[in-house]
Amino acid sequence: MHGFSPRAPNNFEPPALTKAVEKDFEGAPTVLFSLTATTKLAVTPMYQPSHFRVDDLPQMHALMRARPFAALISAGSYGLYATHLPTVLKEDGPYGVLEFHLARANPHWKYLAEGNEALVIFQGPEGYITPNWYPSKAEHQKVVPTWNYAVVHAYGRPDVTQDTDWIRRHVAELTAQQERNEVKPWALTDAPATFIEAMSRSIIGFRFGITRLEGKWKMSQNREIKDRDGVVTGLRKRGAGDDLKMAEIVSRYIKPGS
């Protein structure tokens, strides 16, 4: 693509992982890793029990568009680095393309130019689930607290650009995306052109072709139906943060008439 620099070869050999298995608070196996320094880091997917795993592309894209502020994480010769930023999702390619920008003063953009694989994490609705909402608590008391959440992990290798036309177009699209619900949406043309030009020179653009997507919706699917009903009731009654949205999602996993 015009304006995008080629990625540098990935010669970094990260440390190996030593695996251990424990139990999480709900009794599910949890794989723990410790770093050693012998072999290359293997590609390891997010921990996704089958009942929480989501592979539906439209569902994952919907979350990414609804919650476009994400965490960009990369590793290389500089170690681990993370930046939090807004994104624009495009439908290009098999899994989509993310476009975003970093401040020129942020050294992370130079590290990303090394060409190493990066991870962008999108956090959906989340919240604490008290076992007091489970009717099964009164029957056997064998219940514990947990946390419900939806998340998408997007993997890829970012391409960097300093092309002023691309950056201006990207910023205009990002602005329109976030201003669409305003009564009088702000646009780049509302500010002096010279000011926008100066601001554009202070950022670096990125096009992030997604090579792998992982979705996880942990929404009480591992609980029996009556406990899921209790979670929905509890979330609606509490009504804080993402509670109402989570109640809607949990209710989708309850079979009609059950």
Residue 254 confidence class, pLDDT cut points 50, 70, 90: confident
Non-local CB neighbours of 49 within 8 Å, separated by 6+ positions:
28, 222
Mean pLDDT of 125-148: 96
Rounded CA separation 44/60 (Å) = 19
Q: Tell me the helix, strand and coil percentages in the chain, rounded to 5.
A: 30, 35, 40
Contact 170, 102 (CB under 8 A): no
Cα distances from 235 to residues 36, 136, 229, in angstroms, run 43, 17, 10
Residues 6+ away with beta carbon under 8 Å from 138: none
Which domains can be identified in the chain, with CATH numbers? Answer: 10-44 (no CATH), 45-252 (2.30.110.10)
> pTM for the complete prediction?
0.82
Q: How confident is the model at residue 78 (pLDDT cuts 50, 70, 90)?
A: confident
Find all residues with CB under 8 Å of 242, minimum gap 6, and list them: 124, 125, 126, 127
pLDDT in tens, 179-207: 999 999 999 999 999 999 999 999 999 99
Written as six digits, the tokens of 17 are 């992982």
Tokens of 39: 């072999």
pLDDT value at 75 more than 70: yes
CB 119 within 8 A of CB 138: no
Alpha helices in 101-205 (DSSP H): 108-112, 136-140, 164-179, 193-200
Q: Does 217 have pLDDT greater than 60?
A: yes
Partnered with residue 127 across adjacent β-strands are 148
Residue 36: which pLDDT band, with cuts at 50, 70 and 90? very low
